[in-house]
Chain A
Amino acid sequence: MPLDTSTTYPLTKLRLDGRRWNELRLLQAQISTNPASSGSSYLAMGNTAIICSVHGPAEGRRGDASGGSAGSSGAVVEVDVNVAGFAGVDRKRRAGGSDKQSSRIGTILRSAFQSHLHTYLYPHSTISIHVSVLSADGSLLAAAVNACTLALVDAGIPMPGLLCACTAGMSGSASTPRDPTNDFLDPLLDLSLPEEQELPFLTVGTTTTVPVGEAAMIHDDEDEMKVSMLTMDSKVHCSYVETMLAVGIDGCKQIREILEGVIKKSARR
């Protein structure tokens, strides 16, 4: 039985994998990995690895319930998530269709990108995103958001800025109210799977609008960051949410820089 965060973290301030509280895992990404698609990406956050490909915008399918009226004002985003049977610790046979976890991720991704992308440019069309999880080691949703962002950029679909996501958790007994006099609880950034199973955490996604037009001329250091996605499945006392959110947003900022680097590098080539 390996050690766990809750007992050793307060003693050493080191997490199970040797990170500090505010460090991301090693994030690596490539884009245009799949030439057959409109846009594609590969992204690995630690041992969580995801490939994502985007098709479209293409003409909306006939007979699709949403294709008719809803699509008239803009493109419809479809997301299909597939978690590979070998992605987890146990090899699972998935008998077709999707399980609860992947359909949930799919729903969140769809609503996040439906409102994020400038879909009004493509009426009566569909943008379909395929996410394949090759290996799952925590922060699955956050990694999927980041992979989709890269693939969508690769596909050239206009958006106001990069949508970057990250997880933040809270160690210690975060389900009881915070005691201001005697508080040894610590937030953690970018949780791995063992940490996710142990601690309450949330996933936050932010957008920083890329200045266009006249605004681009005025050099403004102040980032106009906007939280555009926030989910939490675990229970945590409300007094901790603020701290967790702040840590998560900080992580998103770091991720944005990495993703921008990846995009710029591939553009240079």
Chain B
Amino acid sequence: MKSLRRDLSSNPQAQNVTSKIFVRSTKSGKVQKIVRELYLRQDIPCSSKLCSVCPSVAPADANGNITPFVLSEQPAGTKAFPRGHYLVPDTNALLNGMDLFEHTGAFYDVIILQTVLEELRNQSLPLYNRLLSLIKTDEKRFYLFFNEFRLETHVRRGPDESINDRNDRAVRAVAKWYMGHLLSTAKKSKKERSIPAIVVITDDKENLRKSKEENITALSLTDYVSGLEDSDRLLDMINESREAREAKGARGELFYPEYYTMSKLQTGLRAGTLHQGVFNVSPYNYLEGSVNVPAFDKPLLILGRDNSNRAISGDVVVIEVLPKDQWKTPSTKLVDEEAVTKNDNPDAEDNEAVVTERERKALQEEVKKAHGKNSEGRPQPTAKVVGVMKRNWRQYVGHVDSSSAGSQTSSSRRQQNVFVLPMDKRVPKIRLRTRQAADLMGQRILVTIDAWDRDSRYPTGHFIRSLGELETKGAETEALLLEYDVQYKPFPKAVLDCLPAEGHDWRVPASKDDIGWKGRRDLRDLLICSIDPPGCQDIDDALHARPLPNGNFEVGVHIADVSHFVKPNNAMDLEASQRGTTVYLVDKRIDMLPHLLGTDLCSLKPYVERYAFSVLWEMTPNAEVVSADFTKSVIRSREAFSYEKAQKRIDDPKQTDELTESMRTLLRFSKILRQKRMDAGALNLASPEVRIEADNDEVGDPLADVKTKAMLETNSLVEEFMLHANITVATKIYSTFSQTAMLRRHATPPPQNFEELINQLTKKRDLRLDVSSSRALADSLDRCVDAQNPFFNTLVRILATRCMTSAEYFVAGAHAESEFRHYGLASPIYTHFTSPIRRYADLLVHRQLASAIGYEGEDGRAVVEGVMTRNRLEDICRNINYRHRNAQFAGRASIEYYVGQALKARGEKMAADGVDGGIEEEGYVMRVFENGVVVFVPRFGIEGVVRLEDFVLPKDAALRTVAERRELVVRRQSDFDSEEYTLRVSDKGDADQAHGVSVELFQKVNVNVSSVKEEGGRGAGKRRVRILILGQGA
């Protein structure tokens, strides 16, 4: 019998084969030993442009391309390295300083080792992904060097060597090899003067020592950054958590309970004793969070800092339900973090308790309430956080709390702790160590959270960059975009390369034999027009109607044919699917597609020929659909109307041309369609929206730009036909793609969402809200009217809308057909087809529809373009749902900011004239708390909190400044009736009824709206819209 052992000596190749052996444990607890082969080689290039050898041996890939060399010939240097340097960071350096490496001011020519990348991936997936995208960009010159596969730099782990020591040794081996390699191979002429130094960056003391022994230049991250220009700013960007942990380890004062171990959490989850869900913080009370879990139909309350145990809004947490005697009703009080903890000192950790006295008081009052008169009420289950499955920390925009910085700030560069107040009220303050506190004051800054340890009351974070001064347009806009994760960077070159080469000169081919006409219908002779908001550049849709010889009408909806220009899976398509939607801010539009397409080539501009995707119906004069047809087409829009212009033209009896007549037909049909929809139970919902007309003149009243959205007949004309087209298309694509059709649904809201509102309406107005079906809800909403208060109905609609779930995109296979329903529109199936320029979902639907009708396209591939796997579509749906939601939030926040600025401008103008600032308006009480109310002001579409001190009582009507009013706080008392939703505010000890103010839910009140800046004290320098209640509305 022969020996079967590998005989490696005879095979010359085999000497370069080694193996990597590691042990891993699976989820189920099994231990696996993995053996992988490693083929060591010598053709892995050093990627330095200095090298004369590597370019000749660098191997090509399957397409014959050689990866271009990355590292510069003349890398940047510092004082210590005048000839420039290549950096070789180890894993810890990247863990602590990823923001530094991403910084555009420093850190060029970096060699990332395979060893380091792999270790980083095990430690932190987000950082790994950020590093990968750094490597992919060209400008930072990061090179991924696969050192483990290079014969010279491969390191075998010694018998007693820890894995960390081995990896450190690998880093040193690479540094050594690079030095020798560059010395011997650098191009002769330059050899003498300009061989860059190889600098290892490591924070490991042992590694630093050994490097010194081996004559390798090694620096700690801090030391290296100190040698750079602008070091103060860069030093702040180093992750704090590690250092801090080491420094404080000995003190060992722990404020928070420890999390359960992972195995305990998992056992608990499986057994049903623990629950998992997303932690949400109430916008009115930062101490109250809630978690929705499947086991309970109402969200579980999490009260107080020790129960929420370091969870931050958005984290996926594991919770344990508290015993029944600790169940409470949700808070009836407004609690603002800034107010309660304004005196906390960022430096003093010693005498901190988790729950300060003030916080305890704030909570205790609620306990009283729960056991007091309201005891027959419905205490809700409460819970505490016992573990965090996934942190959803992102980068937060905020500003430095000026009161938290020491007084000696102005001159010294001493490192100190300051608090950053995030813009998002639900996020706690973040402790920041910085040397540049003075510079950061009054700036919008971007920070990130590094850690939240048991021994720290607040999370610690580090500074990333400054966006600019507070309240400047640029800084605030960027802050908004960052806060809502909108991708606003200009389109990269790869995307722009996908645009048609002709640019703005692109035309529909003149000859019908051209390939572009293949499968397209010529609809250029139809009288098509578009109706959009004024100033609209990206015209998605156009319409026409014409009588047919048989007495019926042909009605057409024509949508920009974006899918002709955006082919699947190219860079532009991927970018668009990332962005998901165009984001509209007051003064800015962040496009989903490059400008050229969105506002020119795809846009259905008047008087020019454009490609379109048309839906054509034959309708009877009663708007009954006889047949529907879909086709790619070429159209020429006759006119682009604004809503007002279209309305005027329709209303003008003198206009009798064909185009106007067709618009009248459309309007007539749209009214019938709308009525049908309403009869089917569609909801007429309201959202508190205002529109800003940005073309303001400097002289006029800045507030004149703020307009509530007017609803013209023509608005609903367009809307009805778009809805109708969407529904028709949804049916068509679902019949072809029963598993992968891209649809949109609006789930029926669970009745318990409406409980609170039903209760309020019954108590205050004796109105009944029937939520058994959308039809019943629509009818009962119609009945919610108050003769004295015409806005009441809208108010109820706004509140009802908030009780509902939001609509979402989904893939047909993900839900049963009965779940496809769009609740709000009362349609059994729905999708988005009509705005492909600004929504990615519509683009996908276009491809699916093209495929469904057998359109082949220029290259005959359009049929397959619509076909996608369900998994991929589900990923896309998840992303666009998220982007869609964020885009809405960003738009609203932008309007809110603009209203604030307009109020400020007005205030300043008035102040100059010697008149008191603020404008008097009507407001409506939306919520009543124990120590304040939430008021909605329809004129500006804003809602704001009114605290006790902001109730203007007859006695103190003259006091208007912030400081004066603040002094009133201590004297105020309130009488709150949570059953009746009323709040009575009066001065302490003053029993006279006439001196108090009493407000109740849904009440109309007169308010004074102004923009004020906080002077001194908490949140100094922060501007907010202040609402004063002047008295009951007439």
A30 touches B39 (CB 8 A): no
Query: Whole-angstrom distance between the alpha carbons of A11 and B568 in the complex?
Result: 23
In the complex, are the beta carbons of B144 and A11 less than 8 A apart? yes
Whether the Cβ atoms of B34 and A35 lie closer than 8 Å is: no
**In the assembled complex, which residues on chain B have CB atoms less than 8 Å from the CB atom of A7?**
132
Contact between B146 and A18, CB atoms less than 8 A apart = yes
Binary interface encoding of chain A residues 9-51 relative to chain B, with 1 for a CB under 8 A from any of its CBs, else 0? 0011110111111110110101011110000001010110001
Docked pose: A8 CA to B567 CA in angstroms? 26
**Which residues in A have their C-beta under 8 angstroms from that of B511?**
none
Q: In the complex the two chains form, what is the Cα distance from A90 to B136 in whole Å?
A: 37
Cross-chain contact B37 with A47 (CB below 8 angstroms): yes
Interface-central residue, B1, B146, B868, by most chain A CB under 10 Å: B146
B contact residues around A8 at 8 Å (CB): 114, 117, 144, 146
Chain A contact surface mostly = loop
Task: Verify if B668 is at the interface (C-beta below 8 Å from A).
Answer: no
Contacting pair A46 B568 (CB below 8 A): no
How big is the A interface, by class?
35 or more
Specify the chain B residue showing the minimal Cβ separation from A7: B132
Minimum C-beta distance from B433 to chain A (A)? 32
- Cα of A12 to Cα of B117 in the assembled complex, Å: 13
Give B25-62 interface residues, CB cut-off 8 Å to A. 30, 32-41, 44, 59, 61-62
B441 at the interface (CB under 8 A from A): no
A69 interface contact, C-beta 8 A: no
Chain A residues with CB under 8 Å of B135's CB are: 11
Assembly CA distance A20 to B149 (angstroms): 11
The proximity string for A residues 181-198 relative to B, scoring 1 for CB distances below 8 Å and 0 otherwise, is 111001100001010000
Cross-chain contact of A18 among B32, B40, B59 (Cβ < 8 A) = B40
Stretch at the interface among A102-110, A116-124, A170-178: A170-178
Q: Is the CB of B39 within 8 A of A177?
A: no
B17 touches which of A13, A26, A243 (Cβ 8 Å): A26
Check A95 for interface membership: any CB of B closer than 8 A.
no
Q: How far, in Å, is A159 (CB) from chain B's closest CB? A: 24
Q: Is B162 an interface residue (CB 8 A)?
A: no
Q: A44-B6, A173-B569, A179-B570 are in contact. Are A17 and B59 (CB under 8 A)?
A: no
**B-side contacts of A140, CB under 8 Å:** none
CB contacts (< 8 Å) of B117 on chain A: these are 3, 8
What residues of chain B lie closer than 8 Å to A32, measured between beta carbons?
Answer: 2
Q: Is residue A89 within 8 Å, beta carbon to beta carbon, of the partner chain?
A: yes
Q: Which residue of A lies closest to B135 (CB)?
A: A11
Question: CB distance A176 to B40 under 8 Å?
Answer: no
Min CB–CB distance B43 → chain A (angstroms): 8
Q: Which of A13, A17, A34 contacts B37 (CB 8 A)?
A: A17
Contact present for A18 and B61 (CB under 8 Å): no
Which one, B4, B13, B41, contacts A26 given CB within 8 A? Answer: B13
Interface centre among A32, A35, A181 (most CB of B within 10 A): A181
User: Out of A13, A25, A186, which one reaches B59, CB within 8 Å?
Assistant: A13
Give the nearest-CB partner of B66 in chain A: A13
Q: In this assembly, does A2 line the interface, its C-beta being within 8 Å of a C-beta of chain B?
A: yes
Interface size class for chain B? 35 or more
Tell me which residues across on chain A come within 8 A of B269, comparing CB atoms: none
Known contacts A90-B30, A179-B570, A186-B61; A16/B4 CB under 8 A: no
CB-CB nearest in chain A for B43: A20
Docked-complex contact A22 and B869, CB < 8 angstroms: no
Residue from the list A33, A173, A186, A192 in contact with B1, Cβ < 8 A: A33
In chain B, positions 552-587 with a C-beta closer than 8 Å to chain A are: 567-571
B215 touches A (CB below 8 Å): no
The 0/1 profile, CB within 8 Å of B marked 1, for residues 212-251 of chain A is 0000000000000000000000000000000100010000
Per-residue A-contact encoding for B98-110, CB less than 8 Å = 1, 0 else: 0000000000000
> In the complex, which of the residues A2, A12, A179, A194 contacts B118, with contact meaning CB atoms closer than 8 Å?
A2
| Min distance, Cβ A111 to any Cβ of chain B, angstroms | 29
Contacts A1-B122, A3-B118, A90-B32 given; does A30 touch B146 at CB 8 Å: no
Does A26 contact B2, Cβ atoms closer than 8 Å? no
- Asked whether any CB of chain A lies closer than 8 Å to the CB of B95, the reply is no
Query: Given A1-B121, A26-B17, A47-B37, is A14 in contact with B44 using a C-beta cutoff of 8 Å?
Result: yes
Whether the pair A25, B37 counts as a contact (CB closer than 8 A) is yes
Q: Which residues of A contact B2 (CB under 8 A)?
A: 30, 32-33
Residue of B nearest to A181 (CB): B570
Contacts of A20 in B (CB 8 A): 59
**Does chain A have a CB within 8 A of B411?**
no
Within 8 A of A (CB), among B92-139: 114, 117-118, 121-122, 132, 135-136
Asked if B132 contacts A33 (CB within 8 A), the reply is: no
Q: How far is the CA of A145 from the CA of B861 in the complex (A)?
A: 38
Most chain B CB within a 10 A radius of its CB, from A18, A175, A187, A243 = A18
A177 touches B149 (CB 8 A): no
Q: Known contacts being A3-B118, A187-B62, is A192 close to B571, with CB within 8 Å?
A: no
Q: Are A177 and B861 in contact (CB under 8 A)?
A: yes
B41's contact among A18, A179, A183, A187, by CB below 8 Å, is which? A18
Q: How far is the CB of A212 from chain B (nearest CB, A)?
A: 31
Interface centre among B61, B135, B861 (most CB of A within 10 A): B61
CA distance A33 to B121 in the complex (A): 44
Q: Which residue of A lies closest to B32 (CB)?
A: A89
- CB distance A18 to B34 under 8 Å? no
**A-chain residues with CB within 8 Å of residue B1 when the two chains form the complex:** 33-35
From residue A99, how far is it (CB to closest CB) to chain B in Å?
19
B864 contacts A30, CB within 8 Å? no
Q: A11-B135, A186-B61 are in contact. Are A3 and B114 (CB under 8 A)?
A: yes
A192 touches B37 (CB 8 A): yes
Tell me the minimal C-beta distance from B36 to chain A in angstroms.
6
**Minimal Cβ-Cβ distance residue in A for B136:** A11
Which of B33, B35, B136, B571 is A47 in contact with, Cβ under 8 Å?
A: B35
Interface string of A40-80 (1 = CB under 8 A from B): 00101011000100000000000000000000000000000
Check A19–B39 contact: CB distance below 8 A: yes
Q: Assess the B4–A33 pair: CB atoms within 8 A.
A: yes
Q: Tell me the bound Cα distance from A35 to B571 in angstroms.
A: 61
A19 nearest in chain B by CB position? B39
Please name the residue on chain B nearest to A25 by beta carbon.
B37
A18–B149 contact, CB under 8 A? yes
For residue B14, CB closer than 8 A to chain A, the reply is: yes
Give bound CA distance, A181 to B22, whole Å: 41
Return the chain A residue nearest B148 by Cβ.
A18
A60 CB to closest chain B CB, in angstroms? 30
Task: Please give me the residue from chain B that is nearest to A15 by CB atom.
Answer: B39
What chain A residues lie within 8 Å of B498 (beta carbons)?
A: 182
Q: Which residues on the B side are within 8 Å of A19 (C-beta)?
A: 39
B136 CB to nearest A CB, Å: 7
The CA of A182 and the CA of B1, in the complex, are separated in Å by: 56
B67 on interface, CB distance cutoff 8 Å: yes
**Can you name the residue of chain A whose Cβ is closest to the Cβ of B144?**
A11
B356 CB to closest chain A CB (Å) equals: 42
Q: Which chain A residue lies CB-closest to B567?
A: A179
- Whether A18 lies near B38 (C-beta < 8 A) is yes
CA distance A1 to B570 in the complex (A): 30
In B216-261, the 8 Å CB interface with A consists of: none
B189 at the binding interface (Cβ < 8 Å): no
Asked if B63 and A186 make an inter-chain contact with CB atoms under 8 angstroms apart, the answer reads yes
| Between-chain CB contacts (< 8 Å), 20 pairs | A2-B22, A3-B121, A8-B114, A8-B146, A11-B132, A14-B44, A14-B146, A14-B149, A25-B39, A30-B2, A32-B2, A35-B1, A44-B6, A47-B37, A51-B4, A177-B865, A182-B498, A186-B61, A186-B63, A192-B36
Which B residues are closer than 8 A to A by beta carbons? 1-2, 4, 6-7, 11, 13-14, 17, 19, 22, 30, 32-41, 44, 59, 61-63, 67, 114, 117-118, 121-122, 132, 135-136, 144, 146, 148-149, 498, 567-571, 861, 864-865, 868-869
The 8 closest A-B pairs by CB, nearest first: A18-B149, A18-B39, A186-B62, A13-B61, A17-B37, A89-B32, A14-B146, A11-B144
A3-B118, A21-B61, A33-B1 are known; give 13 further A-B pairs, CB within 8 A. A7-B132, A13-B59, A13-B67, A14-B146, A16-B36, A20-B59, A26-B11, A28-B11, A30-B2, A47-B36, A51-B4, A173-B569, A181-B570
